[in-house]
Chain A
C-alpha cells in the first residue's frame, strides 16, 4: 500500500465515528483505537450512545457515536472538537456537525442521504447546504453502493453485505491517518474464525474503503501522528468498567480471598458484572440478583462468610441499596459498592455521564452512617482505586463506596500493565482463634477496627446485625452506649485518613487560581490547566480521589492560592461539601449538567473570567 500523497505530522487528532445505533460505530471506533494504541499513540476514547437499543432508524435520537483522541504527546481527554467526522446518515450529521472543527473533514455515506432520511433527520433540504458545510472538507462517498459492488461475488445476502459499510468507512479513515490494516484484519480472522465468509467480506470492505480514499485523495496532505513518548513497559487498552473489575480481582488475589459479586444489571455499570461473570477462571462467584437490594444483601452475606464482597450499580440502584449499606455500617463488614454515575435523578439520562451522586454517596442513608468514599479519575485508574477501595474495606472493616461514571466506565485509554508483586499488601484483620470468647465489636485501639471471624471457625461463634450493640456484641438500648458506638464508627472511618496519600497539585504549589475537581473530570481539567499555564496564567489543579475522609493536607494546599474554583458535572455538590468541611475558603464554581463531559474551552473561558474578576 504505497502512498503518493504528501504527509504532514500533527501532535494530535480527534476523530468521531457516528451513525445509526445499528451501524456498528462502537466497534468501528474500538478497532481504530486499538490500531492507534498498537502503533504507540497515546489516546483516550469516549463512546456516546442512546439509551434505546434500536431507536427509530435515521433519527437524531438514534445516533450512536464513538470519539477517539490520539496523539504524539500525553492525551487526557477524548477531545472537544473533532478533526474528522464520519457520519453514516443525515441524522449523524445533524447530531455531530457542531462538534467538528472549522475546516475539518466530514465523511458521509451519500447513498444514505435519501429524501426520506434527510427529512427524518429534521432537514428540509440538502444538509450540506443547510449546515453551510462549504468551509469543510466534505467527502460524500457512495459507501453503500460501493460495498455492494465490492462484495457482489462473495455470496452473502444483501443485508449482511450492507453491514460491512462501517468497515469501508474505517478503511477510509485508516488511509487518512496513514494506518495499517493488519490489526483489524487479524481481528476479523479471529472473531469470525467459524464464518470465514463474514471475515472475508469485512476485510474486502475495509480494503475497498482504504483504496477508495487513496484514489480520490480524500485528504491532502495525509496526517501522520508519531507514536507518543510513553514510559517503557507492557501496555493494553482498558475501559473503566473492566479496570474496576480487575482492580477488585487483583485485591481479592492479594488478600487471599475469594471474590463474590452480587449485582443487578443497570446501565452503565453492567459491564462490571459481565466481566466478573466471565472470570470463573479466577474463581469469581457472580450472583445476578433479583434486584438491587438482593445484590448488596447477597454480597453482605458473602462478606459475613469471609469473601471479598462487591456490588456494582448506578445512581438509582445505589438508592435501593441504601438500607443495606446502613446494615454494613452497623455490622462493620467489608464491602465495596461501585456506583457508576449517570445522569439523574430517576431514570434520567441512563447512558450519559454526570457527577451528581456525590451527596447520595456521602449522606444518602438513615442515621449517622459514614462510609469511605473514593472516586476514580481516568478509565485506567479505576483499577488502582478499585484496588484501594477493596484494601480499605478489608483492612478497616467498612463499606467503601467507589464512584466512577459513565464516561470513565465506557471510555478507554492505553494502560501500563502492573505486576501483581508490585501491588501493596492487603491484610484483613482476621480474628485470633485463640481468643475465646470472640467479642465482635472489640476494637484495635489504634485504628478502631473490629476483627473478622469467619463462620466455620471453631470457637468464634458470634452474632452481628443491625440492632445497636455493646462492644461485647449484646443488643443494647442504653442511650450512652448508642452515642459511643455512633462516635466510634465515625472515628473509625475518619482514621482511614492516616492511610491515604496527600492531595497533590498539578502545577505550581501557589498561584492565582486553584482549579479543584474530583473523580472523572480530571482529564479535562488537567488539559485546561496545562493550556492556561502555557498561556501564562498562574493556575494549578487539585483533583480529589479521596473524598471521605479527605486527605490531611487540604487546607495546606488551598491556602496558597488566591482563588479556588470547583469544577464538577452537577450543580455544585462538591463545592458545597468543601464549604462545609473547609469553611475558611471562598469557592467559585464551574458546573455543567448536560450528561456530557466538560469541554476544555468552557473550563478555560470560565477560569479566565474569574481570574480577570469579571
Chain B
C-alpha cells in the first residue's frame, strides 16, 4: 500500500455496474454510500481493494463495489478474508458481515480473526434480525424480541459486539449509525488506517423485518441526548445542549450535567482510544439506553503487531539462516544415499 496513488478517485469509481437490490429504505444503501465515499480518501490504488463477504443481506455488498470481491458462504467471511490478507498483505481487505453471519454461524472465525489481529476491516451490519431469511431473531436481538422463531419473545441474552471484540483481544472497535454518513466515512477511514483487525459495528435499520429497532437511540429527535460521539483526546460530552458528560463514579461510569452539583467540563473523562487497558473502553462499548447514552465513534484503537506481518517476518528470518533455498535443496537434504 506504499505505492503512490496517481489517480484521484471519486465515489463513482467504486460503483459497479450491478443494480443494487436491497429493499428501498434499507440502511445498507447508506453504508455502501459511506464506504464508496471513504475509499477515495485512503490514497490506495483501486485494484488493491478486496471486499469479502459471507451470507446475508449485507453480504451482497461486494457485488456493488467495482473492486475485487468474493461473496463467500455463511459465516466464513472472516476466514476467507484472513486467507486473502495473509496470502497478499499488500491488499486492503474488507470483510462485510452481519450480526447473524459474524456472531452466530461465523462466531468462531470472527473471534479468531480478531485474536490473530490480521489487518482486515470488518464492517458488521447490526440490525438485530435475520433479514435474508425473512425475520428470525439473531444473536444481538434484545431479550424478549418477538420474531418468527420467537413468537413469544426470545429467552436468550444477546451478544454485545464491543464486549465480544474486546474479549477476543480486539484492538480496534468503533460504532456508527447507518444514517450518519459523515461519522461513518470518518470511522471507515480510521478503520482502514488502523493496522490490525478493525471492527466497525453499524447500527443498521432493517426496514422490513425490524424497522426502527435502533430509533429509540438514533432517532432524529432523541439521538443527541441518547448517543455520545467519542473523540480521542476530547472530554466525553454529549446532549442537545452539549452540557451532559461522563465521569467515573467509583468503578462505574456516570452521566452528569455540566453546571450541576459542582460539575465542570474539566471533571469529565477524556477519551483515550489508544489506552491498551480496555477497562474504560469496555464500559463505554457496553453503555445502553436508558441508563447511558450509546457510544459512537472509535472506542478502542490500540497499536499492535499484525499476523500477516509477523508471518512475513518469520519467513524472512528463517530464510536468512536456512541452507534450503529451493525444492532441489530440500529433496537432497537429510539422509540420502546413492545407488551406483
Q: Which A residues are closer than 8 A to B by beta carbons?
A: 34, 37-38, 40, 230-237, 246, 249-250, 253, 258, 260, 262, 279-285, 287, 289-291, 293-294, 297-307, 309, 323-324, 326-327, 331, 417-420, 455-467, 474-475
Contacts and interface: CB of A to CB of B under 8 A. Distances in A.
Contacts of A461: 46-47, 66-69
B62 interface: yes
Given A258-B87, A301-B70, A463 B62 contact: yes
A466 B326 contact: no
Q: In which size bucket is the chain B interface?
A: 35 or more
B83 A260 contact: yes
B48 A465 contact: no
Closest 6 CB pairs of A and B: A301-B83, A465-B71, A298-B83, A297-B79, A281-B322, A302-B87
The residue among A231, A232, A305, A457 with the most chain B CB atoms within 10 A of its own CB is A305
Contacts of B326: 253, 282, 420
B43 to A, nearest CB: 15
Contacts of A281: 318-319, 322, 324-325, 330
Interface stretch (B153-161, B203-211, B331-339): B331-339
Interface in B146-204: none
B299 to A, nearest CB: 25
Contacts of A309: 83, 87
A126 to B, nearest CB: 41
Contacts of B297: none
A305 B88 contact: yes
B111 to A, nearest CB: 8
Q: Which label, helix, strand, loop or mixed, suits the secondary structure of the A interface?
A: mixed
Nearest to B51: A463
Contacts of B18: 463, 474-475
B63 interface: yes
Contacts of B46: 458, 461
Nearest to A227: B339
Contacts, number: 203
B10 interface: no
Interface string B69-108: 1111100100111111111101100000000000000001
A289 B307 CA distance: 13
A461 B335 CA distance: 48
B39 interface: no
Nearest to A423: B327
Contacts of A323: 73
B52 interface: yes
B86 A280 contact: no
B314 A294 contact: no
B328 interface: yes
Contacts of B65: 463
A561 B91 CA distance: 58
Interface in B265-283: none
B232 interface: no
B339 A231 contact: yes
Contact of A463 (B16, B87, B91, B325): B16
Contacts of A302: 83-84, 86-87
A307 B314 CA distance: 18
